[in-house]
């Protein structure tokens, strides 16, 4: 029987229907053997997540995800793993020693504030698009109350989804508005999900959010600047606090598993340059999601990780109620090393919470 793990669960401290406690509870009930919190620009939920792990007898790990500026690297000008902006990459800090949680959160606090300035501008841009239909979006009144810590594009679009369902109260009216007034093309799968909203009320507004995110962001997006740490600054912070610096591989997208990403090319055409660059920068690991890539992509990434000495970390992005905590890919023996890595990461984190240098020496395979 497969052992299921997941190191990449979002909570209300970024965007998710789950609190840290309910995330661990849901992970346990789903059959996961480990769980990892991974919020954007925040570790505000980490301590609660750790306590929930004790409550539910679930081995847990804490991390943080953010975007970094790659303009001063060989990847400048390239679309890396961010659908919305070139020269910007999603990266992760894994295995945060518990005594440094507050330090890590303090690092991100000013970036969260700068992000909100841009968030307000994006709400203004959306209002310009939707005001003709009687829908406006105010950052302070409509969006910020939906957030606990970091405010993301998903919060903005979730607020818009709520405005749409208020103005167009039936699923049929909502779909008509999205397709015929906003000009957003819905796939048959997403259209059916939204039209089935009466039977799936817990998913309904999240399904609309997914449709908007996959097809509308470029219409209101404002490039991130001041809210992005330089990649070298990020790696320095990670290592100073005893964490594992991981690059998050996305890979070219065909049919989006989550329904919120359009078909788009990312790192695959320059994959060798990518690995050369992240190696030079000092990343320790590469993280990826087995269900989001083809087997050909996964084989290539795992081979390159072995060749360059990168620790491999997996996780399935959880930020909506429709997503399963269980990744069936772990039933394939070729991913057994990812299961082992999840437990190694947790062991390192727990021991580093007592003595970072001793833990690094013991788990040297995690670092470069």
**Two tokens at 119?**
């968030």
Full pLDDT tens readout for the chain, 368 residues: 789 999 999 999 999 999 999 999 999 999 999 999 999 999 999 999 999 999 999 999 999 999 999 999 999 999 999 999 999 999 999 999 999 999 999 999 999 999 999 999 999 999 999 999 999 999 999 999 999 999 999 999 999 999 999 999 999 999 999 999 999 999 999 999 999 999 999 999 999 999 999 889 999 999 999 999 999 999 999 999 999 999 999 998 875 554 445 678 999 999 999 999 999 999 999 999 998 899 999 999 999 999 999 999 998 899 999 999 999 999 999 999 999 999 999 999 999 999 999 999 999 999 98
Task: Tell me the backbone φ, ψ of residue 289, rounded to 5 degrees.
Answer: -120, 105
Three-state DSSP class for residue 94: strand
Report pTM: 0.94
CATH class of 20-107+226-366: alpha beta
H, E, C per residue of 344-362: HHHHHHHHHCCCHHHHHHH
Identify the DSSP state of 177. Answer: I
Q: Which residues contact 366 (CB under 8 A, 6 or more apart)?
A: 95, 244, 284, 285, 311, 344, 345, 348, 360
Give the model's pLDDT for residue 181.
94
Q: Domain segments of the chain: what residues?
A: 20-107+226-366, 112-220
Can you give the pLDDT at residue 368? 84
What does the pLDDT read at residue 261? 56
Residue 253 confidence (pLDDT): 82
């Amino acid at each position: 029987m497969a052992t299921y793990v997941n190191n990449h669960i979002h909570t209300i401290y970024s965007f998710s229907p789950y609190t840290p406690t309910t995330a661990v509870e849901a992970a346990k009930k789903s059959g996961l053997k480990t769980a990892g919190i991974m919020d954007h620009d925040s570790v505000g939920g980490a301590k609660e997540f750790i306590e929930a792990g004790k409550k539910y007898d679930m081995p847990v790990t804490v991390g943080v995800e953010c975007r970094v500026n790659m303009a001063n690297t060989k990847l400048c000008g390239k679309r890396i793993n961010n659908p919305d902006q070139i020269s910007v990459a999603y990266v992760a800090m894994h295995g945060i020693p518990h005594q440094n949680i507050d330090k890590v959160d303090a690092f991100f606090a000013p970036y969260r504030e700068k992000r909100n300035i841009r968030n307000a501008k994006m709400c203004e841009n959306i209002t310009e698009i939707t005001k003709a239909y009687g829908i406006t979006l105010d950052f302070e009144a409509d969006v910020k109350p939906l957030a606990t810590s970091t405010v993301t594009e998903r919060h903005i679009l979730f607020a818009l989804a709520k405005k749409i369902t208020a103005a167009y109260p039936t699923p049929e009216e909502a779909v008509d508005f999205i397709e015929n007034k906003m000009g957003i093309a819905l796939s048959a799968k997403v259209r059916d999900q939204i039209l089935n909203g009466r039977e799936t009320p817990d998913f309904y507004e999240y399904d609309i959010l997914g449709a908007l995110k996959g097809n509308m962001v470029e219409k209101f997006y404002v490039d991130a600047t001041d809210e992005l740490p330089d990649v070298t600054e990020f790696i320095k912070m990670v290592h100073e606090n005893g964490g594992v610096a991981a690059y998050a591989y996305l890979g070219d997208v065909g049919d989006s598993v989550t329904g919120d990403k359009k078909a788009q090319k990312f790192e695959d055409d320059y994959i060798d340059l990518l690995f050369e660059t992240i190696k030079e920068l000092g990343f320790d690991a590469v993280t990826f999601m087995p269900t989001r890539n083809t087997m050909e992509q996964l084989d290539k990434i795992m081979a390159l990780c072995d060749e360059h000495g990168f620790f491999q970390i997996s996780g399935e992005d959880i930020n909506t109620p429709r997503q399963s905590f269980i990744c069936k890919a772990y039933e394939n023996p070729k991913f057994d090393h990812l299961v082992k890595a999840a437990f190694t990461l947790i062991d390192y984190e727990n021991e580093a919470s007592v003595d970072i240098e001793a833990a690094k020496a013991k788990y040297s395979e995690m670092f470069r």
